[in-house]
Amino acid sequence: MDERQPPADEPRAEPANRRRVLMLGAVGAAAVVSIRPALAQTAGSVLNCEIPVPDRGRAGSFIDADGGVVAPGTKGAFAPPPRPFKGEEVKRALTGSQLPGTSYESNRAYVNYIRRLQRGQGGFTCFASLQMPRG
């Protein structure tokens, strides 16, 4: 039986079969954003971080209207933008502006993609940083 109770005097430990899962993430993803002192007040480095659409592992794929990553050339989907978007551009897009070089429809598709970013994907750290309140 692997459901033994720990002795009362032993600190409660996670059972071996319920260990935390650790994801090393995608090669192109970032796990660190640095805030340098001179820029800390404006969080400049956060706003200068970049969000590739899609992430580098899927470069060249198209983005459909819902923000899904689909095969290049898929009808109704949008070709990826020629360069990653800056954090500042994304921040403005999240409040109603349009990403540079986009149409109304492609902007909506790219923003949907960015909103759906998960931890471990390229651009997630940057996107998540944009949500953080700043003093």
Task: Name the residues that contact other proteins, by CB under 8 A.
Answer: 19-37, 40, 46, 119, 124-125, 128-129, 132
Kindly state the smallest distance separating residue 58's Cβ from other proteins, in Å: 15
Kindly state the smallest distance separating residue 132's Cβ from other proteins, in Å: 8
Q: Is the CB of 85 or the CB of 124 nearer to other proteins?
A: 124
Q: Is the CB of 63 or the CB of 126 nearer to other proteins?
A: 126
Kindly state the smallest distance separating residue 40's Cβ from other proteins, in Å: 7
Pick from 63, 57, 107: nearest CA to 85: 107
Q: Is the CB of 50 or the CB of 64 nearer to other proteins?
A: 50
Q: In sequence order, which residues have a C-beta less than 8 Å from that of residue 13 and are 6 or more positions away?
A: 6
Q: Quote the tokens at residue 90.
A: 């994304």
Q: In sequence order, which residues have a C-beta less than 8 Å from that of residue 11 and are 6 or more positions away?
A: none
Phi first, then psi: give them for residue 69, nearest 5 degrees. Answer: -95, 120
Kindly state the smallest distance separating residue 29's Cβ from other proteins, in Å: 8
Helix (H, G, I), strand (E, B) or coil at 85: strand
